[in-house]
Structure 1
């Protein structure tokens, strides 16, 4: 018997239908929902969402939470800015599958996506730290969820980790996102890259159409 799944879609572009990453993601989700009509898709548009504030109070609560955990406690209560941390982390952990679409901004990611990552990446919430042979060992707590990333960039980039020799065109977007989600426990991470999007014309449209086709195929396996 099929069990309904919950999909969390994180949209990290503020450009709506003008966004290439969002455009391809919509094709992915359309194909996914056609195959899985019973599943729930929650859309979190990061530029429209009321993301939790994480100021001095939240930073101090983060340290208090660490001290509490090290002392054998169960972590802080969901109060003040920490309540927002728990709310967004629970949203992530309650999803069975995660879809993320994002443009590249300044060789990395938009600040609202970084804000969200900073909120949910918390000790005792999405990862734990143990000491083995006097060395810290980090274990992610957000496991058994596939992550489909749909990333757009103005220039073409090779699918590899950044190198010192990359010069002024260096892709920290994909490498950072893969590292951040792996740290939280994700292991099944899939990628659709929309590139290059910086120069309007037939080549750009062909690249987007190709990515949309790839997205529809990938959705059937998600």
Structure 2
């Protein structure tokens, strides 16, 4: 059975467009869903202890270092197990929410989800698909002020996930009807 990892990062619960879109996308897909809600269960920021633990070879880590990486290890395992990752991307101040950035920091691990080679970094999460549900009040996807979608696309690619589709309800505060119409058309194409 297909494994789907749904990640929501909107601080809004009621009326969240990105949450609505991730739910609708997951409903279209056939598979077993793991739901990670970064607003309901916030993740910690990485710390100096985490960094030292992460860069200590696994076989040399102390029990305290293994504990420092336990949550990151669990998040990485969820991502590794997923065939499709559905990510809610509300745009906050032209970029990704801090909750989503914390998740990225915890799963982007050298030697685990990517590695360095003589030809540069190589993502280790190949063969996965990502569908991103982007919602914004005034930031148009791909515009000069959109730092969210290029960043997330880059980070997914950095980890080896290059099959990325965006479902976008952008500029909702400018023309909500047009923004939702665009997202509906993209959802219909995804379902086809």
TM-score normalised to structure 2 length: 0.88
Partner of 1:153: 136
Task: State how many pairs are aligned.
Answer: 190
Distance apart, 1:31 and its partner CA? 2.6
Partner of 2:172: 197
Contact 1:128/1:138, CA 8 A, preserved across alignment:
yes
Partner of 2:150: 175
2: CA distance, partners of 1:45 / 1:61: 26
Q: Larger relative contact order (C-alpha < 8 A, sep ≥ 6)? A: 1
2: CA distance, partners of 1:194 / 1:122: 31
Distance apart, 1:145 and its partner CA? 0.6
Distance apart, 1:53 and its partner CA? 5.7
Contact 1:58/1:81, CA 8 A, preserved across alignment:
yes
Matched ranges for 1:6-17 at <5 A: 6-17=3-14
Which residue, out of 89, 109, 126, partners 1:143? 126
Distance 1:75 1:216, change over 3 A: farther
Contact 1:53/1:81, CA 8 A, preserved across alignment:
no
Q: For residue 79 of structure 1, give the secondary structure of its aligned residue in structure 2.
A: helix
Distance apart, 1:48 and its partner CA? 1.4
Partner of 1:96: 83
Matched ranges for 1:44-59 at <5 A: 44-49=36-41, 51=43, 54-59=46-51
Distance 1:107 1:171, change over 3 A: same
Distance 1:53 1:175, change over 3 A: closer
2: CA distance, partners of 1:75 / 1:192: 43
Q: For residue 196 of structure 1, give the secondary structure of its aligned residue in structure 2.
A: coil
Contact 1:17/1:23, CA 8 A, preserved across alignment:
no
2: CA distance, partners of 1:74 / 1:48: 34
Unpaired runs of at least 5, structure 2: none
Could you say what the CA RMSD is over the residues aligned between the two structures, in angstroms? 2.2
Q: Which has the larger radius of gyration?
A: 1
Which residue, out of 49, 52, 72, partners 1:85? 72
Partner of 2:179: 207
Distance 1:116 1:75, change over 3 A: farther
Contact 1:97/1:147, CA 8 A, preserved across alignment:
yes
